[in-house]
With several copies, the nearest count.
Chain A
Amino acid sequence: MTLFVSLKEAIAANVFDGDVVALEGFTHLIPYAAGHEIIRQQRKDLTLIRMTPDLIYDQLIGMGCVKKMIFSWGGNPGVGSLRRFRDAYEKSWPHKLEIEEHSHAAMANAYEAGAAGLPCAVFRGYLGAGLAEVNPNIRFIECPFTGERLASVPSIRPDVTVIHAQKANRKGDVLIEGIVGVQKEAVLAAKRAIVTVEEIVDNFDDVHPNACVLPNWTLKAVVQVPGGAHPSYAKGYYERDNAFYKAWDPIASEREGFQAWMQENVLNAGPEVFASRVAFTQAQK
């Protein structure tokens, strides 16, 4: 089955310059290893979508891969702001960054509508909120029965969605457990989907019938990358490497230091380093 490929092949075959790309993960299961591969392959002019862009988007932005970011909360959770994002947005380094900003509710609904094949999402939102005045992709419609004014945003339909999950089985079906976020919706909303997983198991016979499973035919590539969500969490495998989240703030605080770190830890590295990073975290505990 050609579904199982290397991470290099998966990115090369599915992520192209100018694509609209969602690397999702609602604080849990963030696809860091796949994001690094996109950086190594020097993709340009990407439109990145994510509810909670964090360090991996900071890295992609700082390395010049990104033209535009669509998001609802862009920070370093528990630490502060995303310094590369702010440098790009406020000072156009390494180049100008456009943004489209929404609320979490709007983004969650937009992914849901994308998975549902609809052109737009309809929800009760943005009441009295300032974003409705500055974002032309926030509009309002009337309920045809009650006349209530409801918010609408375009559905999210990425060219490619990238996620990290716990397990695939030998057929390439993928299991996501715990805090599942918007990953299922992001995959089903996309034209193409890539999944990195911690582990490949024989079958899902012992998995709960209503667990979150993506059938293999909804995916373009499945790649085993143990530790691929480091420094974020993978429930059942490892906790968050919080020390790294804190360490990122000084690393990203100035341009040269950032570039040196990326050279050593991303450009000169490969997905195989993630397993050892996770082992390191666990050994510390």
Chain B
Amino acid sequence: MNYTATEMMTVAAARAIRNDDVCFVGIGMPSAACNLARLTHAPDVTLIYESGTIGTKPDVLPLSIGDGELCDTAVTTVAVPEMFRYWLQGGRISVGFLGAAQLDKFGNLNTTVVGGDYNNPKVRLPGGGGAPEIATSCGEIFIVMKQSSRGFVDNIDFMTSLGHGKTGTEREALGIKTRGPSRLTTDLCIMETDPESKEFIVTSIHPGVTRKQIAENTGWAIRFADQVVETPAPNDTELAALRALNERTARAHAGQ
């Protein structure tokens, strides 16, 4: 089957999710990837949305974290202070998903301001929301983001949430026990965190994508692993599940 770059990205992100993971899911691409994983190889994965729905199994992708279906299909729904205290800070989440307007090679993320400085920004973004504590409390962080040299930058304009810090050593210096960003899935490739330097390095390239394309769409000097593989194309099962999910979602939200 033919597939789009977005489908490849979603499928590649979904594959990294394990059946016993407990995922803190954001709306958009992470929500699509996590639910695709649940509908394919990880039927028992626990999906948690920050609105308090624990173990939810929506039939369609939610419009927002307030969707009634997230609550209706959840094992339980808790208040937001409990969500952030007992479940996130309590260390119960194995994988957090984050995206950003800007990220750097250490997985530091900016969703606060672009251009200027914090008090006089060129563009004021919505802000960090749950990201600062998701970044440090989850077992590890998976980032899913369309690749572009505008978003993948050498220096982010504001440290909304800590990845591996400005030098790759900041987590240890701060006594943080969690792994931090370990995987970055884009529409071009998969990057993983180098255990030594903590930089993202390309480990898998999506079919038909060139190294040049990847380098052109990355604002930092991109590194490739010694062994780079080709990402397996989405298989029929994956594509069928993803498309059915997207179709159900489109139908449910028609006119909205």
Whether the complex brings A and B within 8 Å at their CB atoms is answered yes
Give the interface of A toward B (CB within 8 A): 26-28, 51-52, 71-75, 77-78, 81-82, 85-86, 89-90, 101, 103-105, 108-109, 111-112, 115-118, 123-131, 134, 148-149, 173, 178-182, 184-185, 188, 204, 209-213, 215, 217-218, 232-233, 235, 239-243, 246, 284-285
A108 to B50 Cα, complex, angstroms: 11
> Interface residues of B toward A: which range?
35 or more
Q: Contact check, B51 vs A182: say whether CB atoms are below 8 A apart.
A: no
Q: Point out the residues of chain A lying under 8 angstroms from B68, CB to CB.
A: 28, 178, 233, 235, 239
Give Cα A93–Cα B70 distance, bound, in whole angstroms. 38
Binary interface encoding of chain B residues 221-256 relative to chain A, with 1 for a CB under 8 A from any of its CBs, else 0: 000000000000000000000000000000001011
- Pick the contact of B52: A124, A181, A204 (CB < 8 A): A181
Say whether chain B's binding surface is mostly helix, strand, loop, or mixed. loop
Q: A128-B136, A128-B174, A209-B71 are in contact. Are A27 and B130 (CB under 8 A)?
A: no
Taking a contact as CB atoms under 8 Å apart, the answer to whether B81 and A182 are in contact is yes
B185 at the interface (CB under 8 A from A): no
Across the interface, do A105 and B52 meet the contact criterion of CB distance under 8 Å?
no
Contact call B159/A209, Cβ cutoff below 8 A = no
Q: Is the CB of B160 within 8 A of A108?
A: no
Indicate if the CB atoms of A179 and B127 lie closer than 8 Å.
Answer: no
**Chain A's nearest CB lies how many Å from the CB of B205?**
31
Whether the pair B126, A73 counts as a contact (CB closer than 8 A) is: yes
Q: Which residues of A contact B72 (CB under 8 A)?
A: 209
CB-defined contacts of B256 to chain A, threshold 8 Å: 240-243, 246
Give Cα distance in the complex from A129 to B128, angstroms.
10
Contacts of A178 in B (CB 8 A): 68, 71, 77
Asked if B46 is at the interface of the complex by the 8 Å CB criterion, the answer is yes
Which of the residues B52, B89, B253 comes within 8 Å of A116, measured between beta carbons? B89
Q: Which of B62-83 contact A (CB under 8 A)?
A: 63-68, 70-72, 74-81, 83
- State whether B80 touches A101 (Cβ < 8 A): no
When distances are taken between beta carbons in the complex, the residues of chain B under 8 Å from A235 are 68, 71
B132, A181: Cβ atoms under 8 Å? no
B131 and A115: CB pair below 8 A?
Answer: no
Contact of B79 with A78 in the complex, beta carbons under 8 Å: no
Q: Is the CB of B181 closer than 8 A to any CB of chain A? A: no
B139, CB-defined interface residue at 8 Å: no
Point out the residues of chain B lying under 8 angstroms from A242, CB to CB.
Answer: 63, 253, 256
